[in-house]
Amino acid sequence: MKTRQGFVSNSSNSSFIIRGVKLKTSKALKLLGLKLKTKEELGEDYYGSEDLAFETIQNYINKKCKKLYVENPNGYEEGNCESFVVGLSWGSGEFHYGGIVSIDVEKEMAKDDEILAMLNKVGIVVDKKDLKLHLCYICGG
Amino acid sequence: MKTKSGFVSNSSSSSFIVRGIEIKVKKLLRLFGLKKPKRNKQNELWGCEDETFELLNEYVSERMNPLSIEKTIRDDGYTECDSVVIGMTWGDMGDGSVESINIEEKMEDDDENIIDKLNRNNVKVTKKDLRLHIFYSSGG
């Protein structure tokens, strides 16, 4: 089983700050022309969640573009996610422990064209106006 | 009647997403022309005993609306923080839910107002000083 690409701490909490798009899992499968993989087919790429649709998409995107983050807001141990977020990470982690993350938005937005190119490369064609900042904190208890 | 501008929940977790600046409390007191109050352990103003923060919060609520002020540490109701964030609240994060923000639209709507409100109250800033501040504390 692989380790997770995004931010992971020793606790079961996780978080992400991603500049990109949020997509419906079912629509993304169709859009990317993907066939649902089984745990066996995912093999070493299987992350251990029960959500094979998400894992199939994540596996596909990670193989095409390592710099893109694919995040499931339900957390990795939970059930199926209706939607997921894909894009470039603007940071995470610090606020796990009650800290603050400060982002120079203009500086980060200079990378928007790069994000669009990466999304395009994996088959997700969107405009600059479709890019949003997606933030999530998942308390693992 | 005073109202608390920041995020409050019944749980011990708190979060904020604020477009603005982070500034030292000492500097802010000076810029606002306020005197640091003496600590009073008996005074449960807002159920909180950090009188300095409450004084700043009162100032911001009354004079800088719709801006808000937030602590940069987990609010245990007592510990004084060295620095605070002042700016426009763009949201907060619930556990496991995704907050999606159209930042271009928000910046266009809010940046000028944030800069104006800060400058009118002696906090001299320009657009390049503004940051997006994100805080989450699960509260244990």
Contact A52, A79 (CB under 8 A): no
B93 contact residues in A (CB cutoff 8 A)? 135-137
> Rounded CA gap, A99 and A85, in Å?
23
pTM of the model: 0.83
Residue A89 pLDDT: 93
> Rounded CA gap, B53 and B25, in Å?
8
A103 contact residues in B (CB cutoff 8 A)? 131-134
pLDDT > 90 fraction of chain A, expressed in percent and rounded: 50
What separation, in Å, do the N-terminal and C-terminal C-alpha atoms of chain B show?
Answer: 32
**Chain A touched by B107 (CB under 8 Å):** yes
| Structure token digits, residue B92 | 């907060």
Contact B28, B84 (CB under 8 A): yes
Nearest beta carbon to residue B74 from set A17, A98, A134 = A98
**Within a domain: residue B75?**
yes
**Within a domain: residue B7?**
no
Best mutation site among A102, A107, A126 for testing chain B: the one with the most B CBs within 10 Å?
Answer: A102
Extract the runs of DSSP E, i.e. beta strands, from chain B.
14-24, 68-71, 83-91, 99-101, 131-137
Best mutation site among B100, B107, B111, B133 for testing chain A: the one with the most A CBs within 10 Å?
Answer: B100
> If we measure between CA atoms, which residue out of B61, B72, B67 comes closest to residue B115?
B67
**Within a domain: residue B9?**
no
In chain B, DSSP finds a helix count (H) and a strand count (E) of 3, 5
> If we measure between CA atoms, which residue out of B29, B18, B104 comes closest to residue B67?
B18
**Chain A touched by B8 (CB under 8 Å):** no
What SS3 state is found at A83? strand
Contact B89, B68 (CB under 8 A): yes
The predicted-structure confidence for A47-87, as pLDDT tens digits, reads as follows 777 788 888 999 999 999 999 999 887 655 556 678 899 99
User: In this prediction, does ipTM exceed 0.85?
Assistant: no
**Chain B touched by A74 (CB under 8 Å):** yes
Contact B32, B122 (CB under 8 A): yes
What SS3 state is found at B52? helix
A15 contact residues in B (CB cutoff 8 A)? 136
Report CA torsion sign: A42, A45, A48, A52.
negative
For residue A128, the chain B residue with the least C-alpha distance is: B104
Which region among A7-11, A120-124, B52-56, B131-135 has the lowest average model confidence (pLDDT)? A7-11
HSE-up (13 A, CA, CB side) for residue B62: 9
Residue B111 pLDDT: 98
Question: For the CA atoms of A39, B96, B90, B55, what is the dihedral angle to 10 degrees?
Answer: -150
Residue A104: pLDDT band (50, 70, 90) is very high
**Within a domain: residue B36?**
yes
**Within a domain: residue B129?**
yes
**Within a domain: residue B69?**
yes
Q: What are the beta bridge partners of residue B96?
A: none
Whether the predicted pLDDT of A90 surpasses 70: yes
Summary mean pLDDT of chain A: 82
Contact A40, A13 (CB under 8 A): no
The predicted-structure confidence for A18-29, as pLDDT tens digits, reads as follows 999 999 999 999
**Within a domain: residue B80?**
yes
Average pLDDT over residues A114-137: 95
| pLDDT tens-place values along chain B, 140 residues long | 334 444 444 456 678 999 999 999 999 999 999 998 876 666 555 555 678 898 999 999 999 999 999 988 876 666 678 899 999 999 887 766 788 999 999 999 999 999 999 999 999 999 999 999 998 876 65
> Rounded CA gap, B52 and A98, in Å?
20
Number of structural domains, chain B? 1
**Chain B touched by A32 (CB under 8 Å):** no
A73 contact residues in B (CB cutoff 8 A)? 96-98
**Within a domain: residue B111?**
yes
HSE-up (13 A, CA, CB side) for residue A67: 12
Residue-number span of the structural domain to which B127 is assigned: 14-137
